[in-house]
A and B are shown apart, each in its own frame.
Chain A
Amino acid sequence: MHPLISISNLSKTYESGFQALKNVNLEIRKGEILAMLGPNGAGKTTLISIICGIVNPSAGTVTIAGNDIIRDFRATRSMIGLVPQELTTDAFETVWATTRFSRRLFGKRSDPAFLEKVLRDLSLWDKKDDMLMTLSGGMKRRVLIAKALSHEPEILFLDEPTAGVDVELRKDMWRLVETLRESGVTVILTTHYIEEAEAIADRVAVINHGEIILVEDKAELMRKLGKKQLTLELHKKLDSVPNRLSTYGLELASEGMQLIYTYDIHADRTGITALLADLAKSRIKFRDLKTTQSSLEDIFVTLVKEPT
């Protein structure tokens, strides 16, 4: 399947000399939800800003549905809705006026019925005549989303959409993204919240120091890099791991009261049965056991960890 967005050898160096993007290559499929993860200053916002036309690229190309973002800017930009990271709004405008403005700015005829639906979906209908300056931060965030959706985009960029919003709005946002996906909208979101990517993304791209380190299906990523650990709460304290158990790579924790065994869940043999048998032979008793799987956050931290 042809990618909807194709980014080739994209680089950006600002006038200050800071290189925000280094030869980025990325393809985004139609209808998917791609989460871009990366620490502050990684280049996430610069990448989005270039695709949307806010920042000029230094080198490389971006095409959307085969159209170049610079040469065919009308075709590409009319497909995109952008929710920026900052809460930038016209303080003296009403919710209704600013949403209608956005729709028309993107070349669409006024459609009060559609705008009403957008505002109702975002729980903004009651606020439609309120000036933006009177709204809370969470409500302003909803207005920015309404503006981005007002022209019925095929692609939605959400730049840190849930930064600084309460849990309720975050969950609302996730539901909205799911609804958009069902209607065929491609969603690209940047986030600091790993749980957000874990909850709603189909694929994850990790960006650091202006480079895409990894792009992978989320499930595949967690399968490949995800580890599972078996933690045994011991009955008696151990000073060291007995030699008989040395082949398992066990780790002693909690001052000798825990044994931790790390294994690959996808391997033919996990070694758990053999370990438990050897523990019995070594007369090591345990009171409790539990298994845990590494989260996307663990994976992310490992990927972007500075070499020491």
Chain B
Amino acid sequence: MNIHAIRAIYYFEMARTGRTLLQSVVAPVISTALYFVVFGAAIGSRITEIDGISYGAFIVPGLIMLSLLMQSVTNASFGIYFPKFVGTIYELLSAPVSFLEIVIGYVGAAATKSIILGLIILATAHLFVPLQIAHPVWMLLFLVLTAITFSLLGFIIGIWAGNFEQLQIVPLLIITPLVFLGGSFYSVNMLPPFWQKVTLFNPVVYLVSGFRWSFFEISDVGVGLSLSMIGLFLVICLATVWWIFKTGYQIKS
């Protein structure tokens, strides 16, 4: 395995974050603070508790998931799309680097950034509401698995995208609605029975539910099911990436 190459790609991507610190870290933290103001203060004054948890604390896992998913997808998709756009991908393709190593470098960096951001948001949230994490190891496991899975999804989007508009379509028109409708700011049990069933088709429900369980030991679906669903998304993304590199889809003519 070309460890030097993996590290080169990884550090290259991490350095890019350093140059865009304002956009990469500060902006999501400010957004999260605004969510707390709007949802926590405005709505939280009307919904005091859900399943015995204060509303402000209840939405923290959802807020972290929102940023984690968006940042994973955005970081990874931009990371691989930019070399395609400016043409520097020639160097990756002509280097003695396997596709697996390329993926580890790009996805690893994107996931790392998202996890760091998730932890920053967790720390920020702690300033607004008292928090305790019932299962910190499980919390980290959900955080890492979700970051890797959605970074893989972002990588796929970056390969697929033919222009900047396409690069933005999936995060804006698919991920954001799914997160908002995936129980980030409410319990699925609060919905009418019909919409509860519909919601179960939303994959984000399982991510938020499992993540929330690691904080408060309450969940909309079973923890095992949440983990299984994350595992399933991970396998689907890995299989898609494998197919992309096997066929050279959108990379090699």
Task: Give the interface of A toward B (CB within 8 A).
Answer: 14-15, 52-56, 73-78, 80, 82, 84, 86, 88-92, 97, 101-102, 104-109, 147
Determine whether the beta carbon of A106 is less than 8 Å from that of B253.
Answer: no
Determine whether the beta carbon of A56 is less than 8 Å from that of B8.
Answer: no
- The 8 Å CB contact of A107, one of B5, B9, B12, B92, is B5
Within 8 A of A (CB), among B81-102: 86-88, 90-98
Determine whether the beta carbon of A90 is less than 8 Å from that of B96.
Answer: no
Closest 4 CB pairs of A and B: A88-B87, A104-B8, A52-B94, A77-B96
With a CB–CB cut-off of 8 A, which chain A residues contact B253? 14-15, 55-56
CA distance A82 to B89 in the complex (A): 12
Determine whether the beta carbon of B94 is less than 8 Å from that of A54.
Answer: yes
Q: Please tell me if B46 contacts chain A, counting CB pairs below 8 Å.
A: no
With a CB–CB cut-off of 8 A, which chain B residues contact A105? 4-5, 8-9, 91-92, 95, 97
- The 8 Å CB contact of A55, one of B7, B12, B252, is B252
Determine whether the beta carbon of A101 is less than 8 Å from that of B2.
Answer: no
With a CB–CB cut-off of 8 A, which chain A residues contact B87? 84, 86, 88
Determine whether the beta carbon of A107 is less than 8 Å from that of B96.
Answer: yes
Determine whether the beta carbon of A84 is less than 8 Å from that of B12.
Answer: no
With a CB–CB cut-off of 8 A, which chain A residues contact B19? 92
Q: What is the interface size of chain B, counting residues whose CB is below 8 A from a CB of the partner?
A: 25
Binary per-residue interface labels of chain B (1-22) against chain A in the complex, 1 for a CB within 8 Å, 0 otherwise: 0101101110010011001000
Q: How many residue pairs at the A-B interface have CB separations less than 8 Å?
A: 71
- The 8 Å CB contact of A91, one of B7, B86, B252, is B86
CA distance A53 to B91 in the complex (A): 10
Determine whether the beta carbon of B4 is less than 8 Å from that of A77.
Answer: no
CA distance A24 to B204 in the complex (A): 52
Determine whether the beta carbon of B88 is less than 8 Å from that of A53.
Answer: no
CA distance A6 to B120 in the complex (A): 55
CA distance A194 to B88 in the complex (A): 28
Determine whether the beta carbon of A88 is less than 8 Å from that of B96.
Answer: no
CA distance A194 to B231 in the complex (A): 59
CA distance A102 to B92 in the complex (A): 9
With a CB–CB cut-off of 8 A, which chain B residues contact A106? 4-5, 95-96
With a CB–CB cut-off of 8 A, which chain B residues contact A86? 87
With a CB–CB cut-off of 8 A, which chain B residues contact A104? 4-5, 7-8
Determine whether the beta carbon of B2 is less than 8 Å from that of A107.
Answer: yes
CA distance A80 to B87 in the complex (A): 19
CA distance A147 to B90 in the complex (A): 12
Determine whether the beta carbon of A88 is less than 8 Å from that of B86.
Answer: yes
Q: Taking the nearest CB of chain A, how far is it from the CB of B227, in angstroms?
A: 36
Determine whether the beta carbon of A97 is less than 8 Å from that of B93.
Answer: no
Q: Please tell me if B222 contacts chain A, counting CB pairs below 8 Å.
A: no
Q: Please tell me if B162 contacts chain A, counting CB pairs below 8 Å.
A: no
With a CB–CB cut-off of 8 A, which chain B residues contact A53? 93-94
With a CB–CB cut-off of 8 A, which chain A residues contact B248? 56
Q: Taking the nearest CB of chain B, how far is it from the CB of A157, in angstroms?
A: 9
Given A14-B253, A97-B15, A106-B5: A73 and B90 interface contact (C-beta under 8 Å): no
- The 8 Å CB contact of A89, one of B2, B12, B88, is B88
Given A54-B90, A88-B86: A78 and B252 interface contact (C-beta under 8 Å): no
CA distance A108 to B95 in the complex (A): 11
Q: Taking the nearest CB of chain B, how far is it from the CB of A109, in angstroms?
A: 7
